[in-house]
Structure 1
Amino acid sequence: MKNSIFILFITVSSLISCDKSLLDQDNPNTLTEEQFWITESDAQRGVNAIYHMFYQPGNWSRWIYFRLDLTSDEGFSKSPWIELADWTRFQYVNYNFFEGNVITYKDTYKAIFRCNQVLTHVPTIEFADEHKKTQLLAEAKFLRGFYYYYAALLWENFPIVTTLQSPTDMPEASTLAEVWAQVEADLSEAAQSLPMQWTGNDIGRPTKGSALALLGKTYMQQHKWNEAKSALDYFITGEGVPYYDLVDYKDNFRAENENNKESVFEIQFSDANKTAEGDIPSSTMSTNRAQFFAPRSIGWSDGQARYWLVTEFKKEKTVNGEIDPRLRYSLFYPDLEADFGDKVYGRSWEWNADEAWFRKYARDYKQNHDDYFNEVNNRIIRFADILLLYAEVLNELDQTASAYPYVDRVRTRVNLAPLATTHPTIGNDKDRFRERLKMERALELCGESVRWADLKRWGDLETQAGIDRVAQRDPDFNNFVLDKSIRLPLPEVEVANNPNLTQNPHY
C-alpha cells in the first residue's frame, strides 16, 4: 500500500512539474483557427456558420417572435408559464430570465461574432475569383447589419463589436445612435457587392435588394426620410424594379412557392433534419413558432393574436362585397369556418368566442397538427412591406398625394377599392394619412414581426397619451412604463461581468 501511494505521488509530482505545453494539446478532431481559415471552402463554411444562427432558439427558430410579435399590440400570451407570459407584458423582474432575454441576447452576440470571424480572416485567403470573395464578405456584412438592426430594436444600447475578441475583453457600451450607424455602414457596404439575384442552390442568400430594404428600414427608424427614399427607390424606380412584384397573398406563408417574386429576404427553413435543436452540425433547421403559437390542444399555445385585428379586417369589404381575403390566411378566429369554410387544423372552432390565433406560417393547410419541424420560410421582408414603407416615406416628405398609388397597389391585390374612395376624408392631410397607413400595415403584415418596429418608428410609445391609445387595443400596455419599457433590460449577468456596460435606463 505504501509503495502504491509513493508511486502515485511520484506520478502526480511529475505531471505537476512537467512543461505546461505538454498539457496544452490540440484536439485532433477539431481544426484550430490557424488551420481552418486557409481555403475558399473554409471561407464558404465560415459564412454558412453565420446562417446556422438563424436556426438557434434565441433567434428565428423560436424566442424572438415573443419579443417582436407578442410584445407588440398584435399579440399577447396567456401561457401558464407565468414568467414567460410576463415578459410579453412588460413585467420584467429577473433580467437573467433565459427564454425571455438572455438566450436571444446570447445568440445575437454569437451571430455577430461569426460575422466578425469571416470579416477578419477571409480577406487574407487567396481566391481564384476575387469577386466570389467580395460577395462572401458582403454576405457577412449584411448579416452583421441584420443582427445589429434587431439588437437596436430590442435593447437599443447594444455593445458594438466589430473585431474578434478574447474572453477577457470588455466591450464598451454603445448608444442607440451608434448602433444605427453601424447598421447603416454594414448594409451600405453590403449593397455595393451583393448580386441583384442568386441562382440555383444560392437562392435565399441576401441580395442587393435585401440590403437596401433593410437599410431603408434602418433610416426610417431614425426618421431619415430622404435617405430612406433613396434606398427604397431601388424597388420603385431603380434597377430592382424587374425583380419584384406582388403574388397570390397566401403564397407568402406556405412552404410552396417560396422565394417568389414578392420575397425580398426570407429565412430558409427546412424539415430535412428532424433532430435536436442547437448549434451542432446535424441540428434541426426548422422553426417551431407555429408549435408555440398554435391553439390550445394543438400546440403549446404560448402566444396568440389580439382580437381587434379580426374586427379591423371586417370593417371594409372588397369591391365584390366580400370579407377581406387576407383575414383567411392571417388568423384563426371563431367565424373562420362560417366565413371561408376553413377549419382550424381540421377542427371546428373549440376555443373562446373572443380569441384569435396567428395563422401565418402554420401548416394547417396540409396537416392537422404542428411540431418542432416546420419548414415554412419566414418572409422577413416582402415587396408589399416595401410598397407601404415607400408610401410612408413620401407622406413624411410632404408628398402625400404621391403616396396613394403604393398603398392602392397592396389593396388592389386583395380586391379592395382605392384608399381615396373608401377613406375620402384623408385627402392630403399628412397626419390622417399616417394614421390610416398604420392600419393598412397591420392588415397586410400582422404576425410578420414588423409591428414592434412600427410602433417605435411612429412614436406611439414615446408619450403617455400614445401609450394609452395603444393600450385600448392591447391592455398589456397598461404595464408599459414611459422611457423604460421601450427597450429590454440588458441581461444582468452581462452588466455584472463587464464594468464597461451600464444597465439600460430605469432598470
Structure 2
Amino acid sequence: MKKYILSLLIATLTFSSCLDVDMVDRIEKEDGFFKTEDHALMAINGVYSTLYQFAYHKTNWPIILPTFEDAMFSTGTAVPATASNNTHSAGSAPVVNFWGTLYDGIKNANEVIARVPSIEFKSENDKSRIIAEAYFLRALYHYDLMRLFGGVNGIPIVTEPVTGIENAYIPQSSAEKVYESIINDFQYAAGMNDDGTPRLPKRLDTGYTVGRVTNGAAHALLAEIYLTLGRWRDAADEAQIVIDSNQYELVSDYRSLWDVDQESSAQKEHVFFVPFFRDKEASADVSLGSNIAHLFNPNGVEVGGKLLSGNPYGKGAGVHRVQKWFIKYFQDDQGNLGYSDPLVDASIDEAKLVSKDYRIETTFWRRFQQKNNTTGVLGNIVTAYPAAGGNTQENWGYIRKFIDPQGVNNRTNENDMPRLRLSDMYLIKAEALNELGEYTEACKAIDMVRERARKADGVGRDYPKYIGMDKSDNIGRTLTKQEFRWLVFMERGLEFAGEQKRWFDLIRMKYDENTLMYDYMKNTFIPSLPAADVQKQGVMAERKKYFPIPFAEVTRNNGVQQNPGY
C-alpha cells in the first residue's frame, strides 16, 4: 500500500521549504512560481508536509498528548515526564514547535488558496480539489491549535497570506469566532463542484494518493467539532453522512487494525489518518517512518528491524505507561481466559486477571521479553499489569497496538497515525443522540462498536454486554442520560486507547450538567481509587486543561495573552 504515498511524501518533504521559509520574500523573487499545475501540486504538498513533521504527528502529537490525560503517565526527566508531572513550561520545545509548525502549515495553505485559482488547469475539478485540500488542512491546523492552546482566550485566526509586518502579528479571536472559521473551511472542503461532484474524493480510489484528504474526512471532522461545541443534532447528522456513504466499514477483527501487514483492510475503517512507511534512506527523526512504536512499547521490546547504523535493533522506549486503575476498570475478576495469548505463561494461573473485552487483550501488553539492542540476545521476561510472574513485574501497563517487525529503525516504522475511524462516527452518534434524549437509537450506535468487540478474532464472546434492551444479551436495564454519558466516555477510552483522544474527551465532555469530566476525574474519581492503582507521576492539574502559549509568542505579540497557570 505504502508505495502509493512515496511520491507524495518525497514531494512533500522536498518542496515544503518552498513555502514555509521567508514566504513573502521567496514568492516575490520567484515570479515563475504559482504558474503551472505542477507548481500548484508542489505547493499543496508543502501544505501536507506539516502533517508529517517531527513537531506534529511524527513525534509531538503522540509524545505529549498522553501525558495530559488521566489514564497514562510518563516517568524520568525528559519532556514527556515533565508534562506528565506538571512541571512543563511555555518554553518547552514541543509546545513551541507545535505552535510554530501548525501556523507554518496555515500560512502555506493561505498561499495555495490565494494563488492557485489564477492558474490554468486542464481540469477545473483538479484545481478545485487542490484548493479544497488547502481549505481542509487550514481548518485542521486551526482546529488542533484551538484545542491545544485556545481553551481560555482563543487563538489568532490567519486566513490571508502574510504580506508584511502589518498583518504578521494577528491578535487572538474568541473561541466562537475561531470555530466559525474552522467550520466554514471544512464545509467548503466538503462541498460540491458546479457539475455536482464533490470537491474532495469520497474515498482514496484510483487517481488519488493514499494519505490525501477526502470528503468523508471533512464530514467526520465536522462531526467531531459539532460534538465539541455541544451541537448534538449537527454532530449526529455529520456522523450519519459518513456512515451512510458506504465508503467505510468496521473491520471484523479489532486486532487487524494494528497489523501493518493488513493495512489495506484497516484502511476500510480509517476515515482520516496520517500514513507513514518504512524509510530505508533515513533514520530516526528525519525519516518518513513512524515514531509511535518507539514511544508506546515497553523499554527493551523489539519494535522494528535492524537500525541503519549503531545498535542493530530498534526497540521501545517505554515513554508512556497505562495507569493500573484504567486496565483494572475493564477486567473480569471471575471469568476464564477464553483465548490463546502467546504472551501468557500457561504455568501461571491468570484466570482471575482476564479481560471482559477482546480489546483489552489486543490493546495492552501482559508479558514481554526484553532484548539487548546491541547483541540481539533475549533477556528478562517482564510482566505488566495484570499478568503475574516473570523476572520483573510492573504495576502498570503498556499500549500494544503499534509494532512493525519489518521496520528499519525504532523511529522509522510503518505504523500510521490514526485520527478518525468509523467507530468514532458510531460513538459520536451515540453520544449526541443520548444528549438529545433519543436513547434507543443511541444504544444502537454504541452497540455497533460493542458487537465488533464481541466477535473478537472470529470466536464470539459474551463481553462486552449490549446496551440496547432489544438485544438478548444486554446489561439488563435502561441507563440514565448521565450513566450513558459515562459509558460512552469509558467506551471511547478503551476503543481509542493510545490514539491521542482521551485528553480531548476530558476537556470537552461533562460528567453531569455542572461538572466537566476533567474536573470529575481529577477531584472525585481518581482520589477515590486505591493508592496502589494510581501512579502519582500522572498529575492532573487545572492548568493542564490547555497548553501554554509559547513564551516568545506572548512576548512579541501584544494581542496574545498567556493561558492561566503559565
The answer on 1:469 being equivalent to 2:528 is no
Question: 1:348–1:188: structure 2 CA closer, same or farther, 3 Å change rule?
Answer: same
Question: 1:79–1:303: structure 2 CA closer, same or farther, 3 Å change rule?
Answer: farther
**Match for residue 324 of structure 2 among 307, 320, 329:** 307
CA distance in 1, matches of 2:187, 2:537: 35
Q: How much has 1:506 moved relative to structure 2?
A: 4.2
- Counterpart of 1:492 in structure 2 is 551
Letter in 2 for 1:330: T
Secondary structure of 2:218 counterpart:
helix
Q: Write the deviation string for residues 454-498 of structure 1: whole angstroms up to 9, x where unpaired.
A: 11121354774452135347666985444x331111001011011
Superposition pairs for residues 23-422 of structure 1, below 5 Å? 32-81=29-78, 83-92=79-88, 94-99=89-94, 101-156=95-150, 157-166=154-163, 168=165, 169-192=168-191, 193-200=199-206, 202-236=209-243, 238=244, 240-258=245-263, 260-275=267-282, 283-297=286-300, 298-315=315-332, 323=355, 324-334=357-367, 348-349=381-382, 351-363=392-404, 366=405, 371-415=410-454, 416=463, 417-420=465-468, 421-422=473-474
Gaps of 5+ in 2: 1-25, 192-198, 301-314, 340-354, 371-377, 383-390, 455-462
CA distance in 2, matches of 1:320, 1:386: 31
**Match for residue 482 of structure 2 among 420, 431, 439:** 431
- Counterpart of 1:21 in structure 2 is none
Secondary structure of 2:263 counterpart:
coil
The answer on 1:451 being equivalent to 2:502 is yes
- Counterpart of 1:20 in structure 2 is none
Question: 1:166–1:301: structure 2 CA closer, same or farther, 3 Å change rule?
Answer: farther
Secondary structure of 1:241 counterpart:
coil
Letter in 1 for 2:563: N
Identity of aligned residues (%): 27
CA distance in 1, matches of 2:229, 2:496: 21
Letter in 1 for 2:203: Q
Question: 1:140–1:382: structure 2 CA closer, same or farther, 3 Å change rule?
Answer: same
Question: 1:359–1:347: structure 2 CA closer, same or farther, 3 Å change rule?
Answer: farther
Q: How much has 1:351 moved relative to structure 2?
A: 4.7
Q: So what's the TM-score if we normalise by structure 2?
A: 0.75
Given that residues 288 and 374 in structure 1 are in contact (C-alpha distance below 8 angstroms), is that contact kept between their aligned partners in structure 2? yes
Question: 1:381–1:103: structure 2 CA closer, same or farther, 3 Å change rule?
Answer: same
Question: 1:319–1:478: structure 2 CA closer, same or farther, 3 Å change rule?
Answer: closer
Question: 1:56–1:150: structure 2 CA closer, same or farther, 3 Å change rule?
Answer: same
Letter in 1 for 2:220: A
Secondary structure of 1:502 counterpart:
coil
Letter in 1 for 2:545: I
Q: How much has 1:146 moved relative to structure 2?
A: 1.4
Question: 1:269–1:347: structure 2 CA closer, same or farther, 3 Å change rule?
Answer: farther
Question: 1:31–1:377: structure 2 CA closer, same or farther, 3 Å change rule?
Answer: farther
Gaps of 5+ in 1: 1-28, 338-344
CA distance in 1, matches of 2:434, 2:333: 23
Q: How much has 1:249 moved relative to structure 2?
A: 1.0
Given that residues 68 and 452 in structure 1 are in contact (C-alpha distance below 8 angstroms), is that contact kept between their aligned partners in structure 2? yes
Q: How much has 1:296 moved relative to structure 2?
A: 2.1
Given that residues 84 and 539 in structure 2 are in contact (C-alpha distance below 8 angstroms), is that contact kept between their aligned partners in structure 1? no
Q: So what's the TM-score if we normalise by structure 1?
A: 0.83
Q: How much has 1:362 moved relative to structure 2?
A: 2.2
Q: Write the deviation string for residues 146-168 of structure 1: whole angstroms up to 9, x where unpaired.
A: 11221121101221111111463
Given that residues 90 and 476 in structure 1 are in contact (C-alpha distance below 8 angstroms), is that contact kept between their aligned partners in structure 2? no
RMSD, aligned α-carbons: 2.9
Q: Write the deviation string for residues 203-238 of structure 1: whole angstroms up to 9, x where unpaired.
A: 3321111000011100111101111122112134x3
Question: Aligned residue pairs: how many?
Answer: 459
CA distance in 2, matches of 1:393, 1:108: 29
Secondary structure of 2:172 counterpart:
coil
CA distance in 2, matches of 1:404, 1:335: 37
Question: 1:316–1:225: structure 2 CA closer, same or farther, 3 Å change rule?
Answer: farther
